[in-house]
Amino acid sequence: MLLRPLLSRIAMLLAGAALAGTVQATPAENDAAMIRLATDSGCMRCHSVLPAPKRADGLPPIAPAWRDIAIKYRDDVRAHDTLVRTVLDGSDPKRRHWAGKVGAEAMPPNADALSAEDARVLVDWILVLVP
């Protein structure tokens, strides 16, 4: 009777170990609900979850990948508020902190495409994409 639960746990651990070697994306990157929200809100027109190669025309991606954003802001205690504000109000074209890495000069405001609550949820998700 005790053997069955033990074997079940061992099987689960072995399956998890096997998957760990083949899966490269984190569970958050595979979150279908967040991808759907981002796609429906138009975010995926410019952004990607993982870093993208140069476009066919040789130019860099339009906007930074969310994993790159998560890495850049991982130690910033104000990151959540800063990024929610940027998503809703757009970015300042004078703050070219992605210059040379992306093609867009600035992010446009998105308050008409995304509610403040959805922006907060999306930013929460983006900030956990750090590998």
- pLDDT for residue 76 is more than 80: yes
Total-model pTM: 0.73
DSSP codes, 55-113 = -TTSPPPSS--HHHHHHHHTT-TTHHHHHHHHHHH---TT--TTBTTBS-SSPPP-TTT
Total residues found in the chain within this entry = 131
What's the confidence (pLDDT) of residue 26?
A: 62
Alpha-carbon gap, residue 11 to 8, rounded angstroms: 5
Q: List pLDDT tens digits, range 8-53.
A: 444 444 444 444 444 455 666 668 889 999 999 999 999 999 998 8
Share of the chain above pLDDT 70, in %: 77
pLDDT of res. 109: 94
Q: Which domains does the chain have, with CATH numbers?
A: 25-126 (1.10.760.10)
**H or E stretch covering 16:** helix 3-22
